[in-house]
A and B are shown apart, each in its own frame.
Chain A
Amino acid sequence: MNPVSEPRLHVVKPAVGALDVARVRTEFPILHQQVRGKPLVYLDNAATTQKPRAVIEALDHYYRFDNANIHRGVHTLSVRATVAYERTRETIRDFINARSTKEVVFVRGATEAINLVAQTWGRANVKAGDEILISEMEHHSNIVPWQMLCEQVGAKLKVIPINDAGELLLEQLDSLLTERTKLVGVTHCSNALGTVNPVRKIIEKAHAAGAVVLVDGAQAVAHLPVDVQALDCDFYVFSGHKLYGPTGVGALYGKEALLDAMPPWHGGGEMIKYVTFEKTIYNDLPAKFEAGTPHIAGGIGLGAAIDYVRGIGLGAIAAHEHDLLSYATQRTAEIPEMRIIGTAREKSGILSFELGRIHPHDIGTILDHQGVAIRTGHHCAMPVMQRYCVPATARVSFAMYNTREEVDAFMNAVRKVIEVFR
């Protein structure tokens, strides 16, 4: 039997009024369906969250009434579309407390944002012999773009290791940070382990060593309040679809001075001021990084998603999800074969586990039979799997609309897995 250590849940100040989960659930149409004859229990929120009515309606409204290209037409629809799209930029700025909307670049998602930084800031600033420092718990999207950059310029990729609980070994940070370290890329919250990293502290140390810091906020923004000025991060990236918004849209935050000095990435329309065959004058921020017609409807939908999340309150959401995590963690102790992978003291609502010798894919299929949707696999974090010597894990991840009853349904389904495999 494997010991299950219960993570100490970090204290989040509850918002005024606790979260009314029954009411929240009425706002998510997709939840009210049966899967294989059982009520859907959606516990794969770290992969993508479901969308509230407000987001679905924003997309519908845009295509029914306002669809036009932005930033170029003088006609009414184009103006409406532009205003709605740019309103989201301001919503994002306020949501993460950026100084200016010039610091908010629309991208397809966190992955694209990291690639953008690697190929613009990175190509301009990282030279042969320099070092990029990432962590052992990164998602492939915060590993591979840096590997590609290192290969291109002859730089070296270094890794901050983690302990058995899934926490960064920060005591090694001082020796890993050298005068050659140009950038530190670290996740705010691990998608495979649930660990919430002390990014403020990492940023302080990195800055003291002269490195800039990119924080991958893909798993954070929907679950805890983010203030990029308080963090003092240089870049912060996130995807809309993990924040109850549409897929295919996300944001890159960058400090204005950094973005300003960076070369553009994709060339094309929108990112230019003036084009001749001899020379092109690039546009100002943030348009410099936004070549081509963007996902306008997605951007507008993301604005609606953020408005919805703020209406509920991130404090209330975090408190609710921590209650679910704590309850689920307790209940897993009832099943001796269940071993939690990732027992950091600071965790968000993610529970990765093994179930004896039963392969995660078999768990996933049998759970699906009970209407329970979880993720099974390597979670795009193969180095984490290698660290724990497992080919894959099963992962439950919570969102604001999940309930303790759903945790119960999940536990019953896990018992069924054991029964089938007995």
Chain B
Amino acid sequence: MDELRDLYQEVIFDHNRQPRNFHKLPAANRRADGFNPLCGDQLTVYMKVNDAGVIEEVSFEGRGCAISTASASIMTETLRGKTGQEAQRLFDGFHRLVTGDGGSNGSELGKLAVLGGVRDYPSRVKCATLAWHTVQAALRNESSRVTTE
């Protein structure tokens, strides 16, 4: 059970039950759809990025497992006020954290570190990264749908 709690931390349940920034964004100028064909999870990320490249607002909608919903929710909280480059750096760090690659302990990642337990569940890495892949696509302003495959 303890091991299971490493994955399903209380913060994750909290974000799963009440996802933050879980709505459309009328002022959005970037948007992308993400899809995980493995489990059917789908989400849409909306962003308002200003001329200086700063993400002023970010939100999401969709349905997914607790890990993907919580990851998307925490991500939206983290990305607000960041530039595209900073977002990319965060994703790189987050990716290393959840894949256990490069020994990141998540200390530089703040709240995102609660998803560190995913590293022991390789089959769930895609759940945790779906929202991030979708943000990357939105930042590149790709209108096409991204998939985790």
Q: Residue B34 at the A interface, CB < 8 A?
A: no
Inter-subunit contact A361/B4 (CB<8 Å): no
Inter-subunit contact B121/A365 (CB<8 Å): yes
Q: Residue B11 at the A interface, CB < 8 A?
A: no
Instruction: Give A418 to B1 CA distance when docked, in angstroms.
Output: 13
Question: Of residues A362, A369, A391, which shows the largest number of chain B Cβ atoms within 10 Å of its Cβ?
Answer: A362
B121: nearest chain-A partner, CB-CB: A365
Residue numbers in A under 8 Å from B13 (CB-CB): 421
Residue numbers in B under 8 Å from A378 (CB-CB): 39-40
Instruction: Give A74 to B26 CA distance when docked, in angstroms.
Output: 76
Residue numbers in B under 8 Å from A376 (CB-CB): 39
Inter-subunit contact B65/A420 (CB<8 Å): no
Inter-subunit contact B3/A369 (CB<8 Å): yes
Q: Residue B28 at the A interface, CB < 8 A?
A: no
- A412 CB to closest chain B CB (Å) equals 13
Q: Residue B67 at the A interface, CB < 8 A?
A: yes
Q: Residue B42 at the A interface, CB < 8 A?
A: yes
Q: Residue A148 at the B interface, CB < 8 A?
A: no
Inter-subunit contact B67/A382 (CB<8 Å): no
Q: A365-B121, A385-B40, A392-B39 are in contact. Are A359 and B4 (CB under 8 A)?
A: no
- B7 CB to closest chain A CB (Å) equals 7
Instruction: Give A102 to B7 CA distance when docked, in angstroms.
Output: 54
- B:86-141 near A, CB below 8 Å: 121, 123-124, 127
Q: Residue A250 at the B interface, CB < 8 A?
A: no
Number of A-B contacts (CB under 8 A): 47
Q: Residue B25 at the A interface, CB < 8 A?
A: no
Q: A377-B38, A377-B39, A385-B40 are in contact. Are A369 and B127 (CB under 8 A)?
A: no
Residue numbers in A under 8 Å from B63 (CB-CB): 391
Interface size class of A (residues with CB under 8 A): 10 to 19
Q: Residue A371 at the B interface, CB < 8 A?
A: no
- A:355-372 near B, CB below 8 Å: 358-362, 365-366, 369
Inter-subunit contact A391/B39 (CB<8 Å): yes
Question: Of residues A361, A365, A369, which shows the largest number of chain B Cβ atoms within 10 Å of its Cβ?
Answer: A361
Residue numbers in B under 8 Å from A385 (CB-CB): 40
A392: nearest chain-B partner, CB-CB: B40
Residue numbers in B under 8 Å from A360 (CB-CB): 39, 65
Instruction: Give A179 to B78 CA distance when docked, in angstroms.
Output: 61
Instruction: Give A361 to B128 CA distance when docked, in angstroms.
Output: 12
- A:224-238 near B, CB below 8 Å: none
Interface size class of B (residues with CB under 8 A): 20 to 34
Q: A361-B127, A365-B121 are in contact. Are A382 and B40 (CB under 8 A)?
A: yes
Inter-subunit contact A391/B124 (CB<8 Å): no
Q: Residue B64 at the A interface, CB < 8 A?
A: yes
Bitwise interface map of B from 1 to 15 toward A, beta carbon under 8 Å scored 1, else 0: 101100110000100
A363: nearest chain-B partner, CB-CB: B65
B66: nearest chain-A partner, CB-CB: A362
Instruction: Give A360 to B64 CA distance when docked, in angstroms.
Output: 9
- B:34-64 near A, CB below 8 Å: 38-42, 63-64
Inter-subunit contact A365/B40 (CB<8 Å): no
- A417 CB to closest chain B CB (Å) equals 10
- B116 CB to closest chain A CB (Å) equals 15
A382: nearest chain-B partner, CB-CB: B40
Residue numbers in B under 8 Å from A366 (CB-CB): 4, 8
Residue numbers in B under 8 Å from A358 (CB-CB): 66
- B44 CB to closest chain A CB (Å) equals 14
Residue numbers in A under 8 Å from B41 (CB-CB): 361, 391
Instruction: Give A376 to B123 CA distance when docked, in angstroms.
Output: 11
Inter-subunit contact A362/B67 (CB<8 Å): yes
Inter-subunit contact B67/A361 (CB<8 Å): yes
Inter-subunit contact B40/A377 (CB<8 Å): yes
A360: nearest chain-B partner, CB-CB: B39
Instruction: Give A146 to B10 CA distance when docked, in angstroms.
Output: 47
- A352 CB to closest chain B CB (Å) equals 13
- B124 CB to closest chain A CB (Å) equals 6
- B107 CB to closest chain A CB (Å) equals 26
B38: nearest chain-A partner, CB-CB: A377
Instruction: Give A171 to B21 CA distance when docked, in angstroms.
Output: 48
- B36 CB to closest chain A CB (Å) equals 9
Between A and B, 27 residue pairs with Cβ closer than 8 Å are A36-B3, A358-B66, A359-B65, A359-B66, A360-B39, A360-B65, A361-B39, A361-B41, A361-B67, A361-B124, A361-B127, A362-B66, A362-B67, A365-B121, A365-B123, A366-B4, A366-B8, A369-B1, A377-B38, A377-B40, A385-B40, A391-B40, A392-B39, A392-B40, A420-B4, A420-B8, A421-B66
Residues of B at under 8 Å CB distance from A?
1, 3-4, 7-8, 13, 38-42, 63-67, 121, 123-124, 127
Closest 3 A/B residue pairs (Cβ): A391-B40, A359-B65, A361-B65
